[in-house]
Amino acid sequence: MMPPKAKFIEESYQIEEVNRMVSEFQEKGYTILRNVFERESVKEFKKQLEELMYFNGNAYTIPDNTPHYIHGALAPRGRQLLPHLLSHSEAKPMPSIHTTIIVIETDEARGYAPEWHKDRQPDGMPGKEYHYPDDVFLAFYFEDIDENHGPTQIIPGSHRDVNMKPNTDAPVESIILNMEDALLIDQRAWHRGVSRKAPGTRFVIVYGMYAMPQHYGSTFQMPRMQMHHWMNAKTTKDRVYFGGPFAPPTQETINAFQEEFDNCEFLHNISFPKLS
């Protein structure tokens, strides 16, 4: 398998540009990151995604053991913005990926383009003062998106003002962007996907990031007794309490992963510890 062909623009945004994007994100609930990739390389990457995609019995997706699955989340310009969107704090929190959503819609099997929804609820006093979101979403389309190519639509400002709702006179914007760009979206705003009119496959790959607070020691080896509680958790509440957003590994899953990693040209040098 070829490594991901989409090439990042490594250069950081100027601080003025960062400030502009942060203000826009806070005001409207989204902002477009320009030139996250080198444009020509994205065309090749989209072809790679088309080769990798498969039907898992429920929906189209791409295998989560490919570097393509996480590639967008590695983009330096995306990572540059995230801390600013998650907190006003001088001691910026560290962003952490908690979710990857792959939305694929093909010509043959109309997948799903989600209807109007909010994935998060506004907190505090919406409309009065700005409240930072608990998490933000970084999205990629890998194609020039106009009205015919299934834009994501949003009601700008509806993350702050609960009175703004779909199917009223609240204004709706289609998020138009280029294949080399990325989108940062506040999922407290009303938004939806629109199906393509142009033929072809619609990809939306979305990464959810939340803020790990700057507590002393942000990473640590989980104490074995905590791991014991995590792995033996009987409820979602307990699982999250002991281990965060990810399901605990069992020895069986560790063995399965080890085998898969051993056979993967990208991951073969990773080895998992044996759980006692």
Ligand X SMILES: O=C(O)CCC(=O)C(=O)O
Please give the residue ranges that form the binding site for ligand X (CB under 6 A).
101, 103, 113-114, 119, 152, 191, 193, 204, 206
Query: Is the CB of residue 178 less than 8 Å from the CB of residue 219?
Result: no
Q: Which of the choices Fe ion, ligand X, none does residue 113 contact, using the CB cut-off of 5 to 8 A by kind? A: ligand X
**Distance, CA of 118 to CA of 78 (rounded, Å):** 22
Closer CB to ligand X, 13 or 141, in the complex: 141
Q: Which of the choices ligand X, Fe ion, none does residue 33 contact, using the CB cut-off of 5 to 8 A by kind? A: none
Closer CB to ligand X, 119 or 144, in the complex: 119
Closer CB to Fe ion, 135 or 180, in the complex: 135
First CA to last CA across the chain, in angstroms?
A: 35
Query: Is the CB of residue 7 less than 8 Å from the CB of residue 38?
Result: yes
β 191-193/60-61 pair status: unpaired
CB of 24 to ligand X, least distance (A): 19
Q: Which of the choices Fe ion, ligand X, none does residue 152 contact, using the CB cut-off of 5 to 8 A by kind? A: ligand X
Query: Is the CB of residue 138 less than 8 Å from the CB of residue 127?
Result: no
CB of 176 to Fe ion, least distance (A): 18
Query: By C-alpha distance, which of 79, 85, 77, 83 is closest to 27?
Result: 85
Closer CB to ligand X, 18 or 102, in the complex: 102
CB of 161 to Fe ion, least distance (A): 18
Structure tokens at 176: 């138009």
Please give the residue ranges that form the binding site for Fe ion (CB under 5 A).
119
